[in-house]
Structure 1
Amino acid sequence: MTSSEHDHAGSDQAGSVTLLGLGLMGHALAGTLLAAGHPTTVWNRSTDKGTDLISRGARRADSAGEAITAGSLVIVCITDNNAVRELVRPLAAELRGRTLINLTSGSSSEARDLSDWAAQHEIAYLDGAILAAPTGIGTYEAAILYSGDKDAFDQHNPTLRKLATPTFLGNDPGLAALHDVAVLGMMWSILNAFLHAAALLQSAGVSATALTPVLQGGIATTAGWLAGYAEQIDTGVFPGDDSTIATHLAAMTHLVDESSAHRVSTDLPLQIKAVADRAIAEGLGQSGYAAMISQFRSPE
């Protein structure tokens, strides 16, 4: 963001923020807040991190409790939620009346547990999932998903907009974490499919570099199907007018055979085919591809 974009994103008076945790992501968050004009207090368990932030105007607290009392908004971004619980539970008195935003990766059940604890101690709680690399923080291309206390989200939205594009998912504090793992699952599925495809074509002397534009086109085409498939899933109606699961299964068999013939692992193709086999066994052969959602709702 340019300086003018920062001003537009948060025309409110820059409030004091505390950042607990100065790993790569925490450091990026703190640096962005400083650049946006927020009085920023930082704390990290090991004191060797964040020296450059101090030179730029951040205040280093000697303890997490001291850091918390310096900011009306407290952001924690550390190793995992076990570490978050260990850190914040003894500091309930210091956090009372403040907003705690947890940007630590974790599970939806952990987020709900932390939210329940926060409510008991009059702490406004938001759980967040960062969909960006540390280098992307402070740009509109970066996204952070939030769930939990809507009033706290609305109150601090001008500040959150300076970190990344914020999206509020709902009052259930577990929604951000659940969306996070869903996005990661899709990402890993695409990357594993890319690696398998590269291995398959490499066996025929085609470089991964040459293959990539073809795959990118295929990914773009597939992405265009998602909105229609999503509507089918929500309505429970799966017309097979473009291609049926039975038709897809025939092509999946070709993928398995080609992989075997070229001495490439068949693990992924067989896993893909197994889902279609189960769907057809349940009588879904003439349904559209999205009907296989049933196999993910009730896995074997």
Structure 2
Amino acid sequence: MIDTDTDTDTPGVTMDVAVLGMGRMGRAIAGRLVRGGHRVAVWNRTPGKAASLVSAGAWEAPGAADAATNAAVVITMLSDDDAVRDVAFGALLPAIGDRTTYVDCSTVSPELSAELAAAFPGHFLAMPVVGSPAAVEGGTAVLLSGGDAAVAKRIGPVVASLSDTVRRYDTAQMAIAAKLATNMLLLSEVVALAESFAVGRSGGLRDDQLRSLLRSSPVVPAGLQNRFEDVLTGTQEGWWATALGAKDAGLALDVARKAGIELPAAGAVRQRYEEAASEGLRGADIAAVTQLYHATR
């Protein structure tokens, strides 16, 4: 089930929130909540990444359990299944009380989300985020909320502070599937754009001509327009690393395979990001996959 306008009816209420994971997305979430008036504790495995948040009013906890102990809402935004499992079944399981809601915003496997829902019955939501850190900071990201509607309602003030656009799903696994479907599309589009540029260059077109031809073309969707210049120029800055792109493509492939469906194009896309990661671009944005098409120029 999908509801695009839910659980945001109490925007003025202040809550105690812990945000665990201070990558760019985690910092964006925490910063948005601080600006929304919430009392925010932050934690990262490697200290020192939350200085700007502390200056803005957040509290940096020495450990994940310390951050979660007095929180009404605990949010994890971590890199992969292993990182989430380590924190959730380590520090959080004994620390989360009866009045605490645990929200995982990470992109993980549906199987792990099901484990978390079983481990934290009546207290867990999957809520992966569609959008960049800048979109989170601006309140325009889309939240994919999966789990019990009553649990989702309890965190209405937090959701209201993060975004006006929420899509509700009956289970955590469905929310994760929605995130993986979205990610797979963008990952494929970035590779397709890089290959389009490669075709044009191979035929003698200059970059300014490619820009003029495709920058505002209706065949380039809005989400891809955000990375157009980065793919054209090979910029390696950004927020979604090639290694994480390969990970997400692998998760999408696993979901389809378990349903008896093969995705050959998705397999090729994952391989491109794996190659980019192995060739020194592991921490670069997914747009850097375009570097793979410059070797023979």
TM-score scaled by structure 2? 0.66
Question: How many aligned residue pairs are there?
Answer: 218
Aligned counterparts of 2:83 and 2:176: Cα–Cα separation in 1: 16
Quote how far apart the aligned CAs of 1:99 are.
0.4
Q: Which has the higher contact order (CA 8 A, sep 6+)?
A: 2
Quote how far apart the aligned CAs of 1:208 are.
4.0
Residues 77-111 of structure 1, C-alpha deviation per residue, up to 9 Å, x if partnerless? 12222222211223323213210000111111211
Quote how far apart the aligned CAs of 1:193 are.
2.1
SS at match of 2:14: coil
In the alignment, which residue of structure 1 is the partner of 2:195?
196
Aligned counterparts of 2:188 and 2:14: Cα–Cα separation in 1: 41
Quote how far apart the aligned CAs of 1:218 are.
4.0
**Given the alignment, which residue of 82, 101, 108 partners 1:99?**
101
Quote how far apart the aligned CAs of 1:220 are.
6.3
Matches of residues 26-175 of structure 1 in structure 2 within 5 Å?
A: 26-90=26-90, 91-97=92-98, 98-119=100-121, 123-175=122-174
The amino acid across from 2:194 in the alignment is L
SS at match of 1:70: coil
Quote how far apart the aligned CAs of 1:213 are.
5.3
Aligned counterparts of 2:143 and 2:208: Cα–Cα separation in 1: 31
Matches of residues 162-241 of structure 1 in structure 2 within 5 Å?
A: 162-212=161-211, 214-215=213-214, 216-219=216-219
For the aligned residues, what is the CA RMSD?
A: 2.7
Residues 223-249 of structure 1, C-alpha deviation per residue, up to 9 Å, x if partnerless? 9xxxxxxxxxxxxxxxxxxxxxxxxxx
Quote how far apart the aligned CAs of 1:149 are.
2.1
Aligned counterparts of 1:161 and 1:213: Cα–Cα separation in 2: 40
| Cα contact 1:153–1:168 (8 A) shared by 2 | no
| Cα contact 2:126–2:175 (8 A) shared by 1 | yes
CA spacing shift, 1:207–1:154, aligned 2, 3 Å: farther
Aligned counterparts of 2:149 and 2:9: Cα–Cα separation in 1: 19
Quote how far apart the aligned CAs of 1:128 are.
1.7
TM-score scaled by structure 1? 0.65
Quote how far apart the aligned CAs of 1:214 are.
4.4
Residues 102-156 of structure 1, C-alpha deviation per residue, up to 9 Å, x if partnerless? 011111121112111112xxx5111122111112213243212111121121221
SS at match of 1:138: helix
Q: Which runs of 5+ in 1 are unaligned?
A: 1-7, 224-295
| Cα contact 1:78–1:104 (8 A) shared by 2 | yes
Q: What percentage of aligned pairs have identical amino acids?
A: 24
Query: Which of the two has higher C-alpha Rg?
Result: 1
The amino acid across from 1:137 in the alignment is V
Quote how far apart the aligned CAs of 1:34 are.
0.8
